[in-house]
């Protein structure tokens, strides 16, 4: 059930002020130190941000999809690293458990995830399996009441802080039907997390390799039945892609606002940049794309809340919004000119940050394939 309008308006107002007053002043510090201050993380916990999508019965806020994307959009107005702090708890790190977990699994794990005491990560990608998620080679072999889990995962967001991993591993033959999902506590013997990778952007949000060496995972920690892991992963990604699309919309709107403010203030040839029609054209194109992306996100979220499948709509929203934010960021650098290339203004940092959105939770090319497949399927 959605929150009552007054309560939700208060939540959005609180998030908006938190982003503007607490997070944006720290953007440069987080980028330089590659770490979000613990004080900020504590504030996020107190605000309930780790439990946005967790049902209220387990201590979360239980937001609808339409409400969640509104919050995600607000967090798009600052560096993506801040949203990443709680992003896996809200999305891919928890939703497999929410969607497919048993009552006992939910009771055990969801309250800690909602409070932020438990940080989650989603382990699908491997050195040899990225876009082709059905080809994972990490293997789980059943021995009595315990699976022995062995393999390596790559580029796992929040892995260095996670205390619970959702791991996709092969329990059967080749292909999607041989993949199962497991809840793997980080303190089990045989779990090893690598060092955070050095990245192009999104400093402060860490990704690491995770290695599993004969890790004893209780059979009670399997999500769903054997062979259902890939299906669970795809359902999780539908929701995650929509969330990411909303973040992209927020960043578009931030970049447009910054570009307009600069164009109005900056003068060339005796008049503001905003008076020049070619500058106006870039602003117009960016604004139009941001509005279109927002409409795609909100429409898909509404369908999700109606209980309808959104594989096509989520893919389309993520594809369009992530590509659009790249173009908007490029135009912002162009409008700022030399200043856009200088670190002090923050535009070049956002330009690097947004590049990742076209890659993770399904590349743009994967989204195109999904969109085409679902369209052809619907056409008979």
Residue-wise pLDDT tens digits, 279-338:
999 999 999 999 999 999 999 999 999 999 999 999 999 999 999 999 999 999 999 999
- pLDDT for 132: 85
> Known catalytic residue: 361?
yes
Question: Cα separations (Å) of 218 from 9, 140, 295?
Answer: 43, 11, 44
> Cα torsion for 124, 125, 130, 134, to the nearest 10°?
-30
- pLDDT for 169: 97
pLDDT at 133 over 90: no
Q: Does domain 231-378 have CATH number 1.10.3720.10?
A: no
pLDDT at 66 over 80: yes
Q: pTM value?
A: 0.95
- pLDDT for 126: 95
Cα of 91 vs its chain's centroid, Å: 7
Six token digits for residue 286: 């960016």
- pLDDT for 131: 83
Is the sign of the CA dihedral 154, 159, 163, 165 positive or negative?
negative
Residue-wise pLDDT tens digits, 4-55:
999 999 999 999 999 999 999 999 999 999 999 999 999 999 999 999 999 9
- pLDDT for 54: 97
For the chain, the domains span 5-115, 120-225, 231-378
pLDDT at 242 over 80: yes
- Distance between CA atoms of residues 89 and 110, nearest Å: 10
- As its CATH architecture, domain 5-115 has Orthogonal Bundle (1.10)
Q: Topology of 120-225 in CATH? A: Butyryl-CoA Dehydrogenase, subunit A; domain 2 (2.40.110)
Task: Using a pLDDT cut of 90, give the percent of the chain over it.
Answer: 96
Six token digits for residue 35: 């770490």
**Closest among 70, 122, 75 to 98, alpha carbons compared:** 122
In the chain, the DSSP E strands lie at 120-123, 139-143, 146-157, 164-170, 179-185, 191-193, 207-218, 222-223, 267-268, 271-272
The three-class DSSP label of residue 206 is: coil
pLDDT at 380 over 80: no
Residue-wise pLDDT tens digits, 104-132:
999 999 999 999 999 999 999 999 988 88
Which entry of 67, 289, 313, 361 is annotated as an active-site residue?
A: 361
Q: What is the DSSP string of 46-83?
A: HHTGGGTTS-GGGTS----HHHHHHHHHHHTTS-HHHH
Question: Cα separations (Å) of 235 from 46, 99, 302, 310, 357?
Answer: 29, 8, 16, 9, 19
- pLDDT for 164: 98
- Distance between CA atoms of residues 209 and 242, nearest Å: 25
Query: 2: pLDDT confidence band, cut at 50, 70 and 90?
Result: confident
Burial class of residue 18, CB neighbours in 10 A (0-12, 13-18, 19+) = buried
pLDDT at 152 over 90: yes
């Amino acid at each position: 059930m959605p929150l009552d309008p007054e309560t939700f308006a208060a939540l959005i107002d609180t998030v908006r002020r938190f982003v503007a007053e607490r997070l944006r002043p720290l953007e440069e510090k987080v980028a330089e130190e590659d770490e979000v201050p613990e004080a900020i993380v504590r504030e996020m916990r107190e605000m309930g941000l780790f439990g946005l999508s967790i049902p209220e019965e387990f201590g979360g806020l239980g937001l609808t999809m339409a409400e969640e994307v509104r919050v995600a959009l607000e967090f798009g107005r600052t560096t993506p690293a801040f949203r990443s702090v709680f992003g896996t708890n809200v999305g891919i790190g928890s939703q497999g458990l929410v969607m497919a977990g048993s009552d006992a699994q939910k009771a055990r794990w969801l309250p800690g995830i909602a409070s932020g005491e438990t940080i989650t990560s989603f382990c699908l990608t491997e050195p040899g399996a990225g876009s082709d998620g059905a080809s994972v080679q990490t293997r789980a072999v059943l021995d009595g009441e315990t699976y022995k889990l062995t393999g390596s995962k790559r580029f796992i967001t929040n892995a260095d802080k996670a205390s619970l991993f959702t791991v996709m591993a092969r329990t059967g033959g080749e292909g999607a039907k041989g993949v199962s999902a497991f809840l793997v506590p980080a303190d089990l013997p045989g779990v090893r997390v690598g060092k955070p990778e050095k990245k192009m952007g999104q400093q402060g949000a860490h990704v690491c390799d995770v290695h599993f060496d004969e890790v004893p995972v209780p059979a009670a920690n399997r999500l769903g039945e054997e062979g259902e892991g890939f299906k669970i992963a795809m359902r999780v990604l539908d929701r995650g892609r929509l969330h990411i699309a909303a973040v992209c919309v927020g960043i578009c709107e931030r970049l447009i606002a910054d570009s307009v403010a600069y164009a109005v203030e900056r003068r060339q040839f005796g008049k503001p940049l905003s008076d020049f029609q070619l500058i106006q054209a870039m602003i117009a194109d960016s604004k139009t794309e941001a509005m279109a992306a927002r409409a795609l996100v909100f429409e898909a979220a509404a369908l999700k809340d109606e209980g309808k499948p959104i594989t096509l709509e989520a893919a389309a929203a993520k594809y369009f919004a992530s590509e659009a934010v790249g173009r908007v960021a490029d135009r912002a650098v162009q409008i700022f000119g030399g200043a856009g290339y200088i670190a002090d203004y923050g535009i070049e940092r956002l330009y690097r940050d947004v590049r990742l959105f076209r890659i993770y939770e399904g590349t743009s090319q994967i989204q195109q394939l999904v969109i085409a497949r679902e369209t052809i399927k619907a056409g008979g």
